[in-house]
Amino acid sequence: MNPEALAELANLGVATATVALAIGWLLHLAEWAAAWAAARSAQLVRVGAPASASAEEPTRATATTDHPADRLARAGLAATVLGTALLAAAVLARGLAAGRVPWGNMYEFAVAGALVVLVVYLGLVARAGIGWLAPIVTGFAVLVLGLSILVYLPPGPLVPALDSYWLVLHVAAAAIAGGAFVVGAGAAALFLVKDRAEARAGGPVTTGVLGRLPTTAAMDRLGFQVHAFAFPLWTFAALISGPIWAQHAWGRYWGWDPKEVWAFITWVVYAGYLHARATAGWRGRGAAVLALVGFVTFLFNFVGINLFVSGLHSYAF
């Protein structure tokens, strides 16, 4: 197949993947809505029912396996798997069309990054059962793919500074770490929501949307596992491979270029997160807030620094 046809195919793949993921996202939102509605009707029943029956209600509701919310969750997952497969094919076609790794400019990095987020997510759904993060992850992927149109470029050769094998290592490590950061930030956000709700209720919340989430302790643990995976990778991307490549391309290891500054800030904030988990008064909520702050610095580095601040990384990662 010639490069033009492959490029067409890549664009088609991204478009259909975005649609499939958007459907997945809507199904997962419907899942939450169904869980919310079920909790609400259960509450109404409980209010009207005799006291003895009310105690049975929650156990019966959770024991039901084919709850509408569960069916919607399965459908959403199927759509997400389909969207991810289409996106993977699109990224592959893009790479073949350009004859190089498909992450050579901001558009390509956004699409490849969305793919990495989805792959990390699906891997963890299989291994650690993190389907409860679906609405956040699929929503994020749809948002990124939708916005990537704004920086679209047809496939082409690399600018000379990027023409290096470090492009493969440095950018891949940053993208995989970023994918894990998305999952970690989602876990941290939902942790904060549930933690607050439980603090208000004065006990565990087992119904509704929050009832579909794992315990706060489990979410905190998942957050740590994901960040423990991402942080060493980020260290490699930002503080090892980045400087080595910068030395080859620009003649200095570290030059406080805006992109480097924010990569450093992200690193420091996530280092703060890891410490917070072992510091009294910061465990739990404080650590979760730091994980979110770290994610915001990561996003700002990709979006804000690329688009609004000029620097050596202006070809955009």
Partner 1 sequence: MSVPPASPARTAPAAPDGPAATAGSPAPDPAERPGGRRPPELTPRELGRWAWRQLTSMRTALLLLLVLALAAVPGSLVPQQGVDSIAVARFRIEHPDLAPWLDRLGVFSVYSSPWFSAVYLLLLVSVIGCIVPRTAVYARALRARPPSAPQRLERLPAFASYESAETVEAVIAGAERVLRAQRFRVDSHAGTLSAEKGYLREAGNLVFHASLVVVLVGVAIGSLWGYRGNAIVVEGSGFSNTLTQYDEFSAGALAGASSLPPFTVALEAMTADFQTGGSQAGQPKSFEATGTLTPAPGADPAPFGISVNHPLTVEGTSVFLVGSGYAPVVTVRDGAGEVVSSGPVPFLPADSSYLSEGVVKVPDASPEQLGLEGFFLPTAARGADGVPVSAFPEAVDPVLSLFVWRGDLGLDDGVPQSIYALDKDELSVVEEPGGGPTRLLLRPGQTAPLPDGLGSVSFDGVREFARLQISSAPLAWLPLTALVVAVSGLLLSLYVRPRRAWVRARSVDGRTVVEVAALDRVARADTGPDLDEVVAALRARGRSDRRDDPAATDGDRA
Contacts with partner 1, residue ranges (CB under 8 A): 153-154, 156-157, 159-161, 163-164, 217-218, 221, 228, 231-232, 235-236, 239-240, 243-245, 247-258, 261-262, 264-265, 268-269, 271-272, 274-283, 290, 297, 305, 309
Task: Please name which of 136, 135, 141, 143 lies closest in space to residue 73, comparing C-alpha atoms.
Answer: 135
**Min separation Cβ 262 and partner 1, Å:** 6
- Report, in Å, the least distance between residue 157 CB and partner 1: 6
CB of 95 to partner 1, least distance (A): 17
Q: How far is the CB of 180 from partner 1 (least distance, A)?
A: 13
Task: Report, in Å, the least distance between residue 155 CB and partner 1.
Answer: 10
| Distance of alpha carbon 91 from alpha carbon 94, whole angstroms | 5
CB closer to partner 1 out of 19 and 303: 303
Q: How far is the CB of 181 from partner 1 (least distance, A)?
A: 15
Structure tokens at 217: 């302790």
Q: How far is CA 157 from CA 40, 254, 313, 316, in A?
A: 56, 26, 17, 15
Closer to partner 1 by CB, 75 or 249: give it. 249
Opening angle at CA 136, ends 39 and 9, nearest 5 = 130
| Token reading at 193 | 């929501």
> Sign (positive/negative) of CA torsion 218, 223, 228, 230?
positive
State which residue, 185 or 290, has the beta carbon closest to partner 1. 290
* Residue owning tokens 């995976």: 229
Nearest Cα to 285, choosing from 181, 203, 188? 188
Q: Which is nearer to partner 1, 137 or 167 (CB)?
A: 167
Angle between helices 106-128 and 68-98 (to 10 degrees): 140
* For partner 1, the closer CB: 33 or 274: 274
Residue 279, sorted as left (phi over 0), alpha (psi -120 to 50) or beta, turns out to be beta
Q: Do 13 and 93 contact (CB within 8 A), yes or no?
A: yes
Angle between helices 166-201 and 242-250 (to 10 degrees): 140
Helix 258-276 to helix 216-235 angle (10° resolution) is 140
Q: How far is the CB of 190 from partner 1 (least distance, A)?
A: 17
To partner 1, the closest distance from the beta carbon of 249 in angstroms equals 5
Kindly tell me the burial class for residue 117, based on how many C-beta atoms sit within 10 Å of its own C-beta (0-12, 13-18, 19 or more): buried
Our CB check for partner 1 shows the closer of 91 and 293 to be 293
Between 84 and 306, whose beta carbon lies closer to partner 1? 306
